[in-house]
Amino acid sequence: MSTDRTVLDADYAVIGLGAMGASALYFLARSGGKVVGIDKYSPPHHHGASHGGFKVTREAVAEGPAYLHFVQRSNELLRDLERRHNAHLMQRNGTLIIGSDAATSSSSFLRDTVRIAQANNIEHLVFSSKDLNRLYPQLIGVGSGDAGYFEPNAGFIRPEPLLSLQIALARQAGAEILPNTAVNRITPVAGGVEIEADGLRIRARQAVIAAGRGTDQLLGGQLGPLLSVTQQRTFTFKALDTASYQPNRFPTLMWFRESVGGECATVFPLEGSGDGVKFFVADTEVDPRIGMSGDRFYQHHIQPFFRGISSELQHSEPCFYTSTPDHGFLLDWHPDIPGLFLVSACSGHGFKHALGIGETIADVLTGRPVRDLSAFGLNRLSSSRQ
């Protein structure tokens, strides 16, 4: 195929090449069909949620047992990609989840995580508050009722290298990649779907839309209310005690802190020669003046909880979360456009599942058997559509 033609014909088209779309593109390209991948920007980019250098991964997913297959399969596929292509896609420094051990806790995330790990023989350790204080002196404010779940084979995934590798491998397998190409309309036609994009018409037997925050703009109508977009922000502060935040001494951290209403701080260790520690708390109030937001973030989320972190803000970047009402994923056929498969929304916890989901999407479109996907279907959200 050549991009100088007005009409492109393909077996499969993938709209949006973030975490889910790049993975679907990769596996569809491996299937031997003619594949087109389309993105409004040049992936990997910072206009969605699949960027930032770090994405938490863990196998015991408290979001529910329906996600377990995806994350376990994703881990297998990630190790295979690393081995076959000599790529360093994941830092296995372990993931630590801290939360209240009390039955009256505002969050059951810790207990659910431990329960799933125990039920599925996932290697882990459980720490008491005394253990946490002894093992991680850089953490202050650990309460007497807190406990920790540590998964040694977890850590964080590097999003940009993973996306770049998958897109490159898809291209090597014959996929046509159309970056910086905005999709204007998707319509059903005889034998498939037609995608209008920047003067091109792409006709595909089947298509996948994994456009994140652009999905509701493209589809709207009855699906629009199902997808909400929020702008989140990460903050990177200078470490004064760099030794304490190296990957060999500091795990990828999710800390549900009762003293601030159960809000979860996600924290990543230092990488390379840098001395900045990255922090994230969902739905943080963001001032247009990023420095002011950083000051408030430091005073509220860092100073009372972390030792050896300066108030010097080194970097801050936005991230756009696209969420469904129940924060679950949407993996289903479009009800009115035959041949169009919906892939949304990651809801902030999707990256660790993306390889497994991409493989599943390719299986669905190519007619191979797959696991029951009803937990991620449109029917569960029917009340939100009325």
Beta 95-100 vs 252-257: how paired, if at all? parallel
In-domain check, residue 22: yes
Look at residue 386 and tell me whether its pLDDT is greater than 60: no
Per-residue model confidence (pLDDT) at position 347: 58
Q: Which tens digits make up the pLDDT trace of 120-136?
A: 999 999 999 999 999 99
In-domain check, residue 39: yes
Helix (H, G, I), strand (E, B) or coil at 212: helix
Token representation of residue 134: 């002894």
Same-domain check for residues 269 and 317: yes
- Of the listed ranges 107-111, 210-214, 254-258, 287-291, the one predicted with least confidence: 287-291
Looking at this protein, which amino acid is placed at residue 370?
V
Nearest to 54 by CA among 211, 236, 273: 236
Q: Which tens digits make up the pLDDT trace of 139-198?
A: 998 999 999 999 999 999 999 999 999 999 999 999 999 999 999 999 999 999 999 999
Rounded to an integer, the average pLDDT of 232-236 is 90
| Domain total in the chain | 2
- Residue identified by tokens 């994230």 is 280
Q: Which tens digits make up the pLDDT trace of 269-303?
A: 998 778 999 999 987 766 556 666 889 999 999 99
Same-domain check for residues 278 and 137: yes
Compute the mean pLDDT over every residue in the chain, rounded to the nearest whole number. Answer: 89
Q: How many other CB atoms are there within 10 angstroms of residue 373's CB atom?
A: 15
Token representation of residue 343: 């892939």
Same-domain check for residues 256 and 319: yes
Domain limit, last residue, from 302, 323, 344: 323
Same-domain check for residues 212 and 272: no
Read off the CATH number of the domain in which 353 is found: 3.50.50.60
Same-domain check for residues 292 and 352: no
In-domain check, residue 85: no
Q: Which tens digits make up the pLDDT trace of 247-264?
A: 999 999 999 998 888 899
In-domain check, residue 174: yes
In-domain check, residue 260: yes
- Residue identified by tokens 């449109």 is 378
Same-domain check for residues 166 and 19: yes
**pTM value surpassing 0.75:** yes
Buried-exposed string 194-222: b where 16+ CB fall within 10 A, e elsewhere:
bbebeebbbbbbbbbbbbbbbbbebbeee
In-domain check, residue 222: yes
Same-domain check for residues 234 and 247: yes
Look at residue 366 and tell me whether its pLDDT is greater than 90: yes
Q: Of 12 and 108, which is predicted with more confidence?
A: 12
Per-residue model confidence (pLDDT) at position 274: 83
Alpha carbon separation from 319 to 55, 76, 271, 282 (Å, rounded): 12, 27, 20, 10
Give the percent of the chain with pLDDT over 90: 68
Same-domain check for residues 244 and 301: yes
Helix (H, G, I), strand (E, B) or coil at 159: helix
Same-domain check for residues 197 and 138: no
Read off the CATH number of the domain in which 239 is found: 3.30.9.10
Cα dihedral sign for 103, 107, 112, 113? negative
Contact predicate 264/209, CB 8 Å: no
Domain limit, last residue, from 323, 344, 366: 323
Q: How many other CB atoms are there within 10 angstroms of residue 46's CB atom?
A: 14
In-domain check, residue 338: yes
Looking at this protein, which amino acid is placed at residue 330?
L
The backbone torsions φ and ψ at residue 184, rounded to the nearest 5 degrees and listed phi first, read -100, -35
Domain range enclosing 239: 95-152+229-323
Same-domain check for residues 281 and 345: no
Look at residue 2 and tell me whether its pLDDT is greater than 80: no
Q: Which tens digits make up the pLDDT trace of 306-338?
A: 999 999 999 998 888 888 888 889 999 999 999
Domain limit, last residue, from 275, 292, 323: 323
Same-domain check for residues 142 and 244: yes
In-domain check, residue 61: no
Same-domain check for residues 236 and 316: yes
